[in-house]
Chains A and B, each alone.
Chain A
Amino acid sequence: MTTNENVAGVNTTEKAATVEFRGLRREFGPTVALDGLDLTVRPGELVALLGPSGCGKTTALRMLAGFEHPDSGEVLVDGEDVTRVPAHRRDAGMVFQSYSLFPHLDAVDNVAFGLRMRGVRTGERRSRAAELLELVGLADKGGRYPHQLSGGQQQRVALARALALRPRVLLLDEPLSALDAKVRLTLREEIRRLQQELGITTLFVTHDQEEALSMADRVAVMHAGKLEQCAAPAELYGRPATAFVAEFVGTMSRIPGQVSDGVVDVLGQRLPVDGAGPQAGEVDVLVRPEAVRVGADADGKARVLATSFLGAAVRVTVRLADGSEVKADLPAHEATGLTAGAAVNVSLPERPVLVAERTA
């Protein structure tokens, strides 16, 4: 598929760049899009900006691209303040959410557009564009116009176009959200492969947590214009720093408990509290479905509400004696006897647990 030779041809000659956001703040009328965002992206790293819509992730990306300007704070690339540098001199390749190819140009000319702006000669830029198209697996589609390409192919061309100028930073603004599920999966892997081969510092905006967790070196979860947590996917999932992260990433159930002296009383068990949280009083214990044990027990006070088959596992929704609902993932063979209405016993493994303020 891809030869090392043309990867080398595409690769940036200089070292990958560091990107730094410092105290970025931006208001659009009454809404605060960014409320003091601090984030550092290390050279060659793929960081996913994850968050609900309106959390400011796209605004942050557009500030790095030069399409938005912060009210205060600064954007640094390799330690150099680029906040006032206009978009066309930012040296950042960008792939947009909607199809942004130039409709009047074929794939080759789309990819070569940036080189044309730089005044590269026709022959040279066309051969380089062909190289890039080969890199994204579209060597035979060079003469096609955007309307003759599928959505996935268009985004590949857009990716090739973004890489054509050997940018220091690659920016991806929900590039997969308009594609269907299958194309999304393959393109996801391909973007990651390319990014690693080229070693280019990449910022990836998405609202799809699965996408973020599967592609990124680190995931930055944003909420209301602020960074909640930036960590490797496994850490983010296993040790969420805040209740927001815990519930936004993956599925989380809340079980009522009583905390005192760093120990929480929950489901008749006494478990140590993990990380910061309320020191005393009524709390909710946050648990992942795979960490909840459910066993058939005729004396159990909890009742199965519903089960749904997920393939390898069965997700069981259980109502506890106090009325709160808990989701648990059980291996298919353990869940055979559990039908709606069955009496069960719910327990947690003897591990530190995360607690949060009682919400309900």
Chain B
Amino acid sequence: MARLNLWRWGVFGLAGLYFVVPLAASVVFTVDVPGQGLTADAYTQIVSTGGFGSSLLLSLELALATIAVVLLLMVPAMVALRLGAPKLRPVVEVVCSLPLVVPPIAFVAGIVTVLKWGPEHLSRTPLFQTFVAIQNPDFPVVLVLAYVVMALPFVYRALDAGLRAIDVPTLVEAARSCGARWPQALVQAVLPNLRGALLNASFLTLALVLGEFTVAQLLGFQPFAVWIVNVSGSQAQLSVAVSVMSLLVTWLLLLVLAGFGGRSRTTSRG
């Protein structure tokens, strides 16, 4: 027992060192400027640097939109799959896992090609305006579309785990025999039991969107991750301060989401 405990502490300590040391070093680097002593200048600079607020806001908006779209797409699809065509599940699983195999760089190259080709060939049709609209830098819909695809594998897995835990056909039939119409049965009998899975899916999507750099950068937009890289080029302290900040922000958002999930079941009483 004692030996086991020793092992545990050893492993725990090593893992702690691995995670904490770089973080602590980053924090020390940002606050302990040679010749100035301890100072929080790097952090105050962040807020005053142009683009901090707007890029963070853009990232959050993108995350929310992506979560909404991907859940609206996947939840009905996967419930329908359970109810109507369980044999198609492996097919959908493979399709949803494809984005994991395609590197983001290849993915974005494809998108760029389409974005170039589209307006040229469709310049005389109303679709031209569509291409312009989805690349609006204030809210690039094309990024949402890309992120939805990239989030598919994670969302699929999270939802699948949740659906495995409940007997969807029986719950739906029970609700139907209680006089619930189809949409009611889904919303009132199935969805509440998927709350954990929905939160997990949102979690993963949020983390993905906040940290995504490749696609946004190559398409020329500036959400939070891209902004961090741009800023960090010029000032060393500032750049590290920003990454510490982004870590904290992501962490905080995840905590907020977890808080929603952790609340007791009293909310479901209608």
Contact = CB atoms under 8 A, between A and B. Distances in A.
Highest count of chain B CB atoms <10 Å: which of A90, A103, A161: A103
Interface in B133-192: 166-167, 170-171, 173-181, 184-185, 188-189, 192
A117 B167 contact: no
A67 B176 contact: yes
Interface string A62-85: 000111000000000000000000
Nearest to A145: B265
Interface in A179-222: none
Given A89-B179, A145-B265, A100 B174 contact: yes
A165 B171 CA distance: 17
Contacts of B166: 103
A117 B170 contact: no
Contact of A117 (B178, B193, B269): B178
A65 B270 CA distance: 27
A92 B193 contact: no
- Which range holds the interface residue count of chain A? 20 to 34
A165 B167 contact: no
B176 A87 contact: yes
A117 B179 contact: yes
A102 B174 contact: yes
B91 to A, nearest CB: 20
A171 B178 CA distance: 12
B268 interface: yes
A109 interface: yes
Highest count of chain A CB atoms <10 Å: which of B166, B185, B188, B195: B188
A102 B177 contact: no
A165 B265 contact: no
Nearest to B195: A104
A96 B172 CA distance: 12
A103 B189 CA distance: 9
Contacts of A158: 174
Interface string A36-57: 0000000000000000000000
B177 A162 contact: yes
Contacts of B192: 102, 104-105
B167 A113 contact: no
B269 to A, nearest CB: 6
B177 A104 contact: no
A116 B193 contact: no
Contact of B178 (A103, A104, A145, A165): A165
A88 interface: yes
A94 B177 contact: yes
B30 to A, nearest CB: 45
B269 A87 contact: no
A100 B167 contact: yes
Nearest to A105: B268
A96 B179 contact: no
Interface of A: 65-67, 87-90, 92-94, 96, 98, 100-105, 109, 113-114, 116-118, 122, 145, 158, 161-162, 164-165, 171
Interface of B: 166-167, 170-171, 173-181, 184-185, 188-189, 192-193, 195, 265, 268-270
13 contacts: A65-B173, A88-B176, A88-B178, A94-B173, A98-B170, A100-B171, A102-B171, A102-B175, A102-B193, A109-B269, A114-B179, A161-B174, A164-B178
